[in-house]
Amino acid sequence: MKVKINIKKTVFFLLVSILGFCNTVLPQSYGRIRGFVTDSLSGESLFLANVYIKELSIGTTTNEHGYFYLTKVPAQKKLTLTVSYLGYVSKSEKLVVPPNKTLLVNFEISPNPVQLGAIEKVGKIKTRGNETDIGLQKLSIRNIKALPHGVETDLFKALQFVSGVNFTADVSAKYYVRGSDNNQNLVLLNGATIYNPFHALGLFSVIDPEMIKDVKFYKGGFTSEYGERISSVTDVITIDGNRNNYGAKASLSMLTAKLLLEGPIPYGSFAITGRKSHSSRILGKLLNKGRLPFDFYDASVKINYSNPDFIPGAKFVAHFFTSGDMLKNSNLLKENFFWSNNIFGFSWFEVFKFPLIFELNVSVSDFKGEVNPNESTARLIKNKLREISLNYRFNYLYDNNDEFSGGLKVFTLVGNLTYENNFGGISSFNDRGANFVLFTKYKYLRFKNFGIDIGARYNFTSVSSSGNNYLEPRISFTYKPADAISIKGAWGKYRQEITTISDENEVVSLFEPYVIVPNYLKLPKAVHYSFGIEITPFNNWNIKSEVYYKKLSDITAINDSKKYDWENDLINGNGESYGLELNSNLNYSNFNLSASYTLAYAYKQVKGWLYYPRYDSRHYGNIIAEINLGKGWKTSLSWTFKTGLPFTPATARYYKLALNDLDYLNVLSHYIPFSVLGDRNIKRLPNYHRLDFSVSKTFRFSFGELLLDVNIINVYNRENLFYFDRSTGEKVNMLPFLPTVNIGFKL
């Protein structure tokens, strides 16, 4: 393959990289502190633990590996280093840092058995505060489980509580970020891509919450280490498993049965999770379809190895994930569904004695999906996708707090799709290709009140031949004019090489197959602009406001006007979205109150026709109250509101004779209803609102814990309109008043 190099874009990329070699040497009177924070009982690393020096009122937080690093610490002075974490007992250590040396300090902290889940008061902590993190939402499994949930706790359902994230139905886990399609969201599991991250026709995530350690969710403006999507990134890291003791946890809901096994191995640990549906009755209630013959499962295995005698500071991880869904109808007049994910991965993470971190990830991600129409009116779909990826990243921390990072990603993608188009013809997409990407960034963090991140991704090659030599520059900044005020902004360019075939005219989208963007189309691209202000008037009260604008170009759409076989099935379109997001969080002792509001506008334009996409809602938000009642009791209440979503009305209806299924003895019984549609998404559904309630109790015994969790969905039984059945004109509502129960036991 012959590749042409764009000199101007390459020079720009190299200039960003050269910034990384700038360094500032500190006087001999300063030193550094680094280390890891872990759970004393399980040995699990703790993400977002606070690490601070009391005498200096400075600090930082741990990364996803539990690692922290403090620079420019005064040498030869008695200092107190303290670590605190949600639901854990704080721990302090007296120390003296030697001049121009790095002191290694590891912390093991214990869970607080009395006030588990409470926010511990640790005084006024002044962390660096100049992190360029606009649009980033960091979640731990504690955050996810604390949010109200319906039938089961679910990661993507939790994301729907984030401002700027919308959903089209309360029975769906699909999420739409800042006016973009669901196929523009990247989902990573331990660095590997999950291509179809949904169970049960989109009702739940395939990622069992029991396997989650932490989540980084970028709703816009994400920096140069992430690519391949133009809207958002959900980066999930799974638990390592207990390094000290063997343990098990089992739980049962009205939908699934789950099991978690974990324990130590020589110089490491393992964690195994499994989930299996056991009843289709609750799915029938969720989808208003009676009993559904639906069956799904997911399982994960993670093995960690860290031997200081082998490679000091290194950690090796092998992981495997699988999921499968099957809906098999005995009635031949109904379609069957099947899809699966299989992921294998290996990673090597290492921290050196000098402030350098590197990580290598190798993974294989397979996806298969199929819709067998039988004798129904559904369309045939057969879909396969395989990605083989190698991703290398490094991060160097300077004594002046600046950071230089970069890396490369090489991946191959093979896609196969066969499907029945709108006119009954069979279309096929078969493509393969490879991409070689370099990325780099420099974080200028030497001033406490100002930080800036300048970076870029450069695509030397592309899976699609139309995407070679494409530069994605990105920049984000933070400025603190006062301790309680932060001003943040971001700008960047993004593109992606894979999409789904999504029909805007479908009332309920059951399955959207993946396809590599054909060579006859331009690759979808986006430009992000965002600006925000964060105010912390008190230690326990935080207020955030962000405005954003997103310009979308060359997004893929179905060619609805196709008449001949030689015409393309897909065409390019454009779009834009903009809005305002407001967030407030108040925490007082064992009570937490949060509220969010989003004012949003989204548009699509295909073949000169401008319309609202199906996920466009002008106003939406929620209020969440959480209370830790003590003695194992917790409760939460959430209220969600949004204005109506667009839909395409049916202006007329007719019946068509089904010749293929013709029964000559009973001709009149073989007419299929068809609708004549009006202008796309010209009408809107009524406003949506819903109140949910949950209460849980943890019973502790000498041999383990028992958790009882009761949830009530739609407390006041609001009749939220889901859609109009086009064959009958009947109104179909979303979830009614629905109580659910979950039981869990942990050894």
Give residue-wise pLDDT tens across range 457-507.
999 888 876 667 889 999 999 999 998 899 999 999 999 999 888 777 666
What is the spatial distance between Cα 280 and Cα 290, in angstroms, rounded to a whole number? 9
> Does residue 86 sit in the same domain as residue 142?
no
> Does residue 427 sit in the same domain as residue 566?
yes
What is the extent of the structural domain holding 84?
7-109
Q: 204 in a domain, yes or no?
A: yes
Residue 671: pLDDT band (50, 70, 90) is: low
Give me the percent of the chain exceeding a pLDDT of 90: 40
Please name every residue paired with 48 in a beta bridge, in sequence order, or none if there are none. Answer: none
> Does residue 451 sit in the same domain as residue 377?
yes
DSSP string, 580-649: EEEEEEEEETTEEEEEEEEEEEEEEEETTEEE--TT--SEEEEEEEEEEEETTEEEEEEEEEEPPPEEPP
> Does residue 313 sit in the same domain as residue 447?
yes
Residue 304 confidence (pLDDT): 94
Please name every residue paired with 462 in a beta bridge, in sequence order, or none if there are none. Answer: none
Which residues, 6+ apart, have CB-to-CB distance to 519 below 8 Å?
431, 464, 465, 466
What is the spatial distance between Cα 311 and Cα 347, in angstroms, rounded to a whole number? 14
Q: 575 in a domain, yes or no?
A: yes
Q: Can you give the pTM of this predicted structure?
A: 0.89
Tell me how many domains the chain contains: 3
Q: 193 in a domain, yes or no?
A: yes
**Which CATH number belongs to the domain containing residue 213 in this structure?**
2.170.130.10
Question: What residue spans of 481-612 are helical by DSSP H?
Answer: none
DSSP string, 100-113: T-EEE--EEE-B-S
> Does residue 397 sit in the same domain as residue 458?
yes
* CA dihedral (202, 208, 209, 213) positive or negative: negative
Provide Rg for the chain, Cα atoms: 26
Residue 661 confidence (pLDDT): 47
> Does residue 97 sit in the same domain as residue 180?
no
Q: 508 in a domain, yes or no?
A: no
**Which CATH number belongs to the domain containing residue 289 in this structure?**
2.40.170.20
What is the spatial distance between Cα 558 and Cα 518, in angstroms, rounded to a whole number? 13
Lowest-confidence pick of 90-104, 262-276, 385-399, 661-675: 661-675
> Does residue 295 sit in the same domain as residue 444?
yes
> Does residue 104 sit in the same domain as residue 222?
no
What is the spatial distance between Cα 2 and Cα 13, in angstroms, rounded to a whole number? 21
Q: Which of 234, 261, 288 is the last residue of a domain?
A: 234
> Does residue 44 sit in the same domain as residue 150?
no
pLDDT digits (tens, 9 = 90+) for 569-580: 889 999 999 999
> Does residue 97 sit in the same domain as residue 205?
no
Q: 189 in a domain, yes or no?
A: yes
Asked if 163 contacts 206 with a C-beta cutoff of 8 angstroms, the reply is: no
Higher pLDDT pick, 13 / 602 = 602
Instruction: Output the average pLDDT for the chain.
Output: 84
Q: 324 in a domain, yes or no?
A: yes
Give me the percent of the chain exceeding a pLDDT of 70: 86
Q: Which of 234, 263, 297 is the last residue of a domain?
A: 234
> Does residue 436 sit in the same domain as residue 547?
yes
**Which CATH number belongs to the domain containing residue 24 in this structure?**
2.60.40.1120
Q: 506 in a domain, yes or no?
A: no
Asked if 230 contacts 463 with a C-beta cutoff of 8 angstroms, the reply is: no
In the block, which residue shows the tokens 């009642």?
629
Q: Which of 234, 262, 286 is the last residue of a domain?
A: 234
From residue 138, give the alpha-carbon distance in Å to each of 233, 448, 641, 680. Answer: 12, 22, 24, 37
Q: 242 in a domain, yes or no?
A: yes
**Averaged pLDDT for residues 74-79:** 89
* CA dihedral (518, 521, 522, 526) positive or negative: negative
> Does residue 318 sit in the same domain as residue 458?
yes
Higher pLDDT pick, 379 / 46 = 46
